[in-house]
Amino acid sequence: MFHTVLIANRGEIALRIIRTLRRLGVRSVAVHSDADAGAPHAREADVAVRLAGGYLDIEAIVEAAAATGAQAVHPGYGFLAENTAFARRCAEAGLVFVGPPAEAIEAMGDKIRAKETVAAAGVPVVPGAAEPADDLLTADIGFPALIKPSAGGGGKGMVLVRSAAELPDALASARRTAAAAFGDATLLIERFVENPRHIEIQVLADAHGNVIHLGERECSLQRRHQKIIEEAPSPLLDPGTRGRMGAAAVEAARSVGYVGAGTVEFIVQGATADYYFMEMNTRLQVEHPVTEMVTGLDLVELQLRVAAGERLPLTQDEVRLRGHAVEARVYAEDPARGFLPTGGRILTLHEPGASGPEGIPGRGVSGVAGTPDASGGSGISGAGAPEIPEISASPMVRVDSGIAVGGRVGSDYDPMLSKVIAWGPDRASALRTLDGALAATTVLGVTTNVAFLRALVTHPEVVAGDLDTGLVERRLDELVPGAATPEDVLAAAALLLQHERVPAGPAGPWDVPDGWRPGSPAAWTTWRLESRDGVAEIAVRGLPASGAEVRLPAHEGEDGDRILRARLERDGSGLLVTLDGVRRRYTAARDGDTVWLGRDGDTWSLTRHHLGDPGDRAGAAGAGDGVVRSPMPGTVLLVKVSAGERVEQGQPLVIVEAMKMEHTVTAPVAGTVAELPVRAGQAVDMDAVLAVVGPEES
């Protein structure tokens, strides 16, 4: 085994690799950009090296490995994990690349070449056409069709087209994304399988010719071709189909001389279970924990041992799948705004369960806390079959996370913050355990998709295992939380603001801001609070800690405002708020004039507007005044108009790109572009002004 390994990555995957290295007694070296100088992975590693050029600077990474005495480089996923130039440069520098040979990455990284290679090995493929040999505008494969960048991955640049009329614009968008993201604008187009399931097979291969698979993962729950929920095993496959797909994946890996851990992805027709090769990811997958949970194997450890020249420690017949595991990806995004990326500083963080691979059942670990068993064994001996103890019937939770309180989430990197993984003896218990773990997950300061994930894992079709890649889009109205902020949340925020006005030290009766006046009832204090659905006025009188009243606006059809008895109590880092005898618990944090509240996996931000403020943000930037704001933090990809140009309502003005998606911002009114303060390549924050359109009458 190596004595020092450099991790050419960041965030949760870097921390996950560090934990396995630490368990194996291997020294870890982290690299970090300037933005990540204080990041958890840089703090947790034994050594951390600054990269002036960021995580794509191949020469700087090689130099960091040489300077720290690293023998091997683990690329994680993303960044340089599937970069053939990086793999070759490591070999030139005498470093072991913890991944497949550069030739295998090259063969499978080009989707066109990959399809040709596996088809020759007898693996079924989807009908399609590819550049440069074919003209994609005239390709006769039928519609709907899916456009893909040949050099791409992770769903970036993929566009679904349902008619020939959509094809020219879709090709232009996909080509632009492919060139910017991968440096290669080559595209392919494939017949789109209606209501497909996305099922992938985990493969492992060593340098001695041994190739096995560890079963499948169901990854059908997606939005914009990005996976959200993954599980193992698939509720669709029977043992026979699993065996055939596994054998096809093994042959696909053999066809390119694969070594290491990889994933062969298939598109599967749900009605017939017919399967077609889609692509191979020549790296560790984001969703690898669900395979670890059902096999009891540490895939990172296996990667390291294979890279060090060892044989695989088990044969195909010795692979055993136990129980069921489901993973949910926690993203910094707002489902209510079309899953646009969000950002901000993490004020409060609570993550349930064990952290990292200590939570792999059967790896010499028991229980949620990750306590080693008496033998202290890893479950992988390095020679011969691993001794995997029986898995307890008790459900368990694992969290792979890369964030910490005080950290800032921006648009520099992927919006995934963490992964919550649940294991149970059967699928139903695993889903229930995951829902409970998500309910206990709180991130304040950044809007996340946790409430959406809870709605998804409890949706009847998901519970029944009736999945396909279009389910999320079809059921979006049921899955995305309503825009209206609950009244109890508004009341809790107003009570907290009122409570924090009370002096911390001793005060005379005239100094307590309870609204009391001689000879008259206590006066009301009105708090104007802006939430995601507008501005509300909530009035409070009295002292929340000893008993107060809250006045809420009347419901439609009611004669007057409603007055509720209220009380607020501190409970550690949280709040207990009682309204007319009903008590609820919240996690709370303040960021200037903004109050963040969390409950049961959902979060709300409520910004205080002082009396005399001109109005709420939404009103100041509504469609009527022509102010156009960025819907997400990102980079201006394209400015499609000029200052002084006349535009029609709905005409594209600016394209903003962030985190694998383009968003076209359009003119809210017809008129003239009065202001255009941005340019292509400029970084912008959420709600930054992109343009101002003066209405025609002006």
Detail the DSSP E strand segments found in 600-688.
602-609, 627-629, 634-639, 646-647, 652-658, 661-666, 671-675, 683-684
pTM metric for this prediction: 0.82
Same domain, 81 and 141: no
**What is the bridge-based pairing of β-strands 4-7 and 72-74?**
parallel
The 3-state secondary structure of 398-441 reads EEEECCCCCCEECCCCCCEEEEEEEEECCHHHHHHHHHHHHHCC
Tokens of residue 152, six digits: 């791409």
pLDDT digits (tens, 9 = 90+) for 363-379: 433 222 232 232 233 33
Query: Which residues 6+ apart lie within 8 Å of 466 measured at CB?
Result: none
Nearest to residue 138, comparing CAs of 110, 109, 168?
A: 168
Q: Are residues 182 and 219 in the same domain?
A: no
Q: What is the pLDDT of residue 694?
A: 87
Q: What is the pLDDT of residue 356?
A: 62
- Whether residue 507 is contained in a domain is answered as no
Residues 384 and 300 both lie in one domain? yes
Domain count, the chain: 5
The sign of the torsion formed by the CA atoms of 184, 185, 191, 195 equals positive
The sign of the dihedral angle between the CA atoms of 111, 113, 116, 119 is negative
Last residue of a domain, one of 609, 641, 662: 609
Asked whether residue 241 falls in the same domain as residue 381, the answer is yes
Report pLDDT for 697. 55
Cβ neighbours for 132, distance < 8 A, ≥ 6 positions apart:
186
**Domain-embedded: residue 111:** no
Give whole-number Cα distances, 263 to 120, 205, 210, 214, 391, in Å: 19, 11, 16, 10, 25
> 217 and 182 in one domain?
no
Q: What is the pLDDT of residue 384?
A: 35
Domain that holds residue 22: 4-98
pLDDT for 260: 97
**Under 8 Å CB-to-CB from 320, ≥6 apart: which residues?**
295, 296, 388
Q: Which regions of the chain are under pLDDT 50?
A: 363-389, 504-508, 510-511, 520, 612-623, 698
Contacts 24+ apart (CB under 8 A), 473-477: 473/223
Residues 158 and 25 both lie in one domain: no
| pLDDT tens readout for residues 44-66 | 999 999 999 999 999 999 999 99
Domain CATH for 183:
3.30.1490.20
pLDDT score recorded for residue 498: 94
pLDDT of residue 387: 40
Domain membership flag for residue 518: no
Do 325 and 412 have their domain in common? yes
In a domain, 574, yes or no: yes
**Same structural domain for residues 155 and 249?**
no
Q: Are residues 88 and 171 in the same domain?
A: no
Give the three-class secondary structure for 142.
Answer: coil
Side-chain-side CA neighbours of 646 within 13 Å: the count stands at 3
pLDDT for position 569: 95
- Among 60, 79, 98, give the residue marking a domain's end: 98
Does residue 540 share a domain with residue 427? Answer: no
452 and 418, same structural domain? yes
266 and 407, same domain (yes or no) = yes
How far apart are alpha carbons 155 and 148 in whole angstroms?
Answer: 8
Structure confidence at residue 361 (pLDDT): 61
In a domain, 145, yes or no: yes
Answer yes or no: are the C-beta atoms of 158 and 179 closer than 8 Å: no
- Asked which of 609, 642, 664 is the last residue of a domain, the reply is 609
